[in-house]
Amino acid sequence: MSGLLLSVDLEDVRDWVRDGHRYQERVPVNTEAYLVFFARLRVKATFFVVGNVARRYPGLIRTIVEAGHELACHSDVHLQLDKQTAAEFRADVTRNRKTLEDVGGCRVTGYR
């Protein structure tokens, strides 16, 4: 039996680059393309989602869950780990998890 682990980091480059406002919004279009591709291949993936992306695109997050994919944490606002204290990191992950569970309506246990 063969196995496959498939994951996607769902983040918005516009949030973490200095001139992000100059970039075109691509999150919904790219994510929909992934969902169509995964459906065609009949595979499921884990989507590691940044919290601010989930708050910006709640319908998209629900679509991911409805398609049978897993949600997992990828920071609340995509801060660098080496720039946070342990308490800040815990608070960030807690916010991220709460957002994903509230928006996605499912239990979230993973982190990357």
Q: Beta partners for 6?
A: none
What 3-state DSSP class applies to 10? strand
Q: What is the pLDDT along the chain (112 residues), one digit of tens a residue?
A: 467 889 999 988 766 656 656 666 789 999 999 999 999 999 999 999 999 999 999 999 999 999 999 999 999 998 888 999 999 999 999 999 999 999 999 999 999 9
Residue 52, pLDDT score: 94
What 3-state DSSP class applies to 72? strand
Per-residue DSSP letters for 9-52?
EE--GGGTSTTGGGSPP-HHHHHHHHHHHHHHHT---EEEE-HH
* CATH no. of 7-104: 3.20.20.370
Q: What is the pTM of this model?
A: 0.89
DSSP 8-state secondary structure symbol assigned to residue 112: -
What 3-state DSSP class applies to 71? strand
